[in-house]
């Protein structure tokens, strides 16, 4: 894969077409190395230039050349460069209109998927910006329900991005306090799990007893595509506030036996559905074992971002068997709003130890939720990722995330997923059979 021009070729000029010669001459004056274009291409180029001069949207008839012309057609390639330049400079409303124009230009084309692929390969080659293609898909995902026909284009681009971002092309970098400030700023910007609140916070997260690794693409070398934050500890962690406390003393690496993955953040919405997070964790485990061979265990301390929403929609009849108190089970049986009431109770109890029956009920409900499947996939998005990678549900932690976000999404509860390299395949097979792997401690709640 390359972002350079795939080739510049010549059309076959018509000596009887004065307008074609004029257009080619004008183009040659601006770019003397460009070969002559066909009359049809020259006409399209003239219409494009009028569009740019008047600041109007492009004529779909002109844009059709982006699909149909060969990748060596000089006029179509220049059109692609100008379209890309305008798109990059456009605001959201204009971008949506420009995408709608591409959709309209492709209506009725045979072999639409193949020609859509040609369109995006042309735009990539002529703009020489892989980041533009990622932006395009992010915008398509944003507006695909508003612009009829945009989904088909989005799917064609997703296929190309899957190839362009093949994991074999990605580079793993260790990020620390000596990394460029611009890169550290991006981590602050893109951190999606536990907000980085200050530079002191950032410094602590890349300190000597921590590790941060990111995948980069060589054509987007200044942008981390996905990154993971790791704490090196003596025990499996149960409280994220402790892990992310900027004032926490440095741990003794000589005593570290656990690597805790406590935050994994994707940074590019345009790469949604293109999975390389599992490869990131595998590479990071290899790196950590190479550097610190005394490490024995690898686990996460993960949020359950869908738990509160899921529980809030459950009736008393649905959750009755998981309530720890007999009287409460009887009361909930006829209460259609019981789930929502339990969300409020768990949130109120989380900042402290909470009554034993409330705490036990919360852990039971969370264990049940994490094992819920939609088809073959876990309902919870984080569980979907880790269980799909072969981890198992190891332990549930009460009052583990007391931040506003943690209380809002998961009533303060968090879960440890355990990664045992020799069990990953078996665990994936169990998940495919509809039985996610769960530790005995969770089973006995």
By the 8 A CB rule, do 319 and 343 touch? no
Q: How far is CA 183 from CA 131, 142, 188, 197, in A?
A: 16, 26, 9, 16
Tell me which residues are annotated as active site: 302, 386
By the 8 A CB rule, do 142 and 154 touch? no
CA dihedral 18, 19, 21, 24 (to 10 degrees): 180
Kindly give the pairing relationship between strand 258-266 and strand 297-300. parallel
In terms of C-beta density within 10 A (0-12 exposed, 13-18 middle, 19 or more buried), how is residue 282 classed? middle
Q: What's the rounded Cα separation, in Å, for the pair 388 and 439? A: 16
Q: What's the rounded Cα separation, in Å, for the pair 242 and 194? A: 12
Q: How far is CA 80 from CA 48, 127, 180, in A?
A: 10, 8, 34
Token pair recorded at residue 330: 């009887």
DSSP states along 338-369: HHHHHHHHHHHHTTS---HHHHHHHHHHHHHH
3-state secondary structure 79-103: HHHHHHHHHHHCCHHHHHHHHHHHH
List the Cα angle 235/294/286 in 5-degree steps.
100
Instruction: Give the number of other Cβ atoms within 10 Å of residue 220's Cβ.
Output: 15
Instruction: Give the number of other Cβ atoms within 10 Å of residue 183's Cβ.
Output: 16
């Amino acid at each position: 894969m390359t972002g350079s021009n795939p080739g510049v070729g010549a059309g076959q000029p018509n000596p009887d077409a004065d307008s074609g010669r004029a257009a080619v001459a004008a183009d040659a004056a601006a770019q003397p190395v460009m070969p002559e274009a066909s009359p049809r291409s020259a006409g399209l180029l003239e219409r494009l230039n009028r569009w740019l001069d008047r600041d109007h949207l492009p004529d779909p008839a002109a844009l059709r050349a982006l699909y149909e012309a060969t990748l060596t057609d000089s006029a179509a390639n220049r059109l692609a460069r100008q379209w890309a330049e305008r798109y990059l400079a456009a605001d959201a409303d204009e971008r949506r209109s420009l995408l709608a124009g591409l959709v309209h230009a492709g209506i009725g084309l045979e072999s639409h998927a193949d020609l859509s692929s040609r369109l995006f390969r042309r735009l990539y080659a002529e703009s020489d910006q892989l980041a533009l293609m990622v932006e395009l898909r992010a915008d398509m995902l944003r507006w695909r329900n508003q612009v009829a026909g945009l989904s088909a284009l989005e799917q064609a681009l997703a296929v190309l991005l899957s190839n362009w971002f093949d994991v074999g092309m990605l580079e793993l970098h260790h990020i620390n306090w000596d990394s460029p400030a611009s890169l550290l700023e991006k981590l602050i910007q893109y951190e999606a799990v536990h907000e980085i609140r200050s530079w002191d916070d950032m410094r602590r997260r890349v300190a000597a007893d921590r590790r941060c690794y990111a995948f980069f693409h060589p054509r987007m070398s200044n942008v981390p595509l996905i990154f993971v934050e790791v704490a090196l500890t003596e025990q499996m962690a149960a409280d994220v506030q402790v892990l992310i406390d900027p004032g926490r003393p440095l741990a003794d690496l000589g005593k570290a036996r656990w690597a805790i993955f406590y935050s994994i953040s994707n940074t590019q919405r345009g790469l949604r559905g293109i999975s390389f997070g599992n490869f990131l964790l595998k590479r990071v485990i290899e790196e950590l074992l190479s550097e610190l061979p005394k490490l024995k265990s690898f686990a996460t301390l993960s949020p359950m971002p869908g738990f509160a929403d899921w529980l809030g929609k459950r009736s008393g009849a649905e959750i009755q068997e998981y309530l720890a108190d007999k009287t409460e089970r009887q009361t909930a049986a006829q209460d259609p709003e019981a789930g929502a009431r339990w969300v409020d109770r768990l949130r109120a109890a989380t900042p402290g130890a909470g009554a034993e029956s409330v705490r036990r009920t919360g852990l039971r409900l969370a264990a049940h939720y994490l094992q819920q499947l939609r088809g073959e996939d876990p309902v919870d998005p984080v569980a979907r990722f880790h269980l799909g990678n072969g981890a198992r549900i190891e332990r549930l932690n009460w009052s583990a995330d007391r931040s506003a976000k943690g209380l809002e999404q998961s009533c303060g509860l968090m879960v440890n997923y355990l990664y045992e390299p020799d069990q990953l395949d078996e665990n994936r097979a169990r998940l495919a059979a509809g039985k996610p792997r769960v530790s005995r401690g969770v089973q006995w709640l």
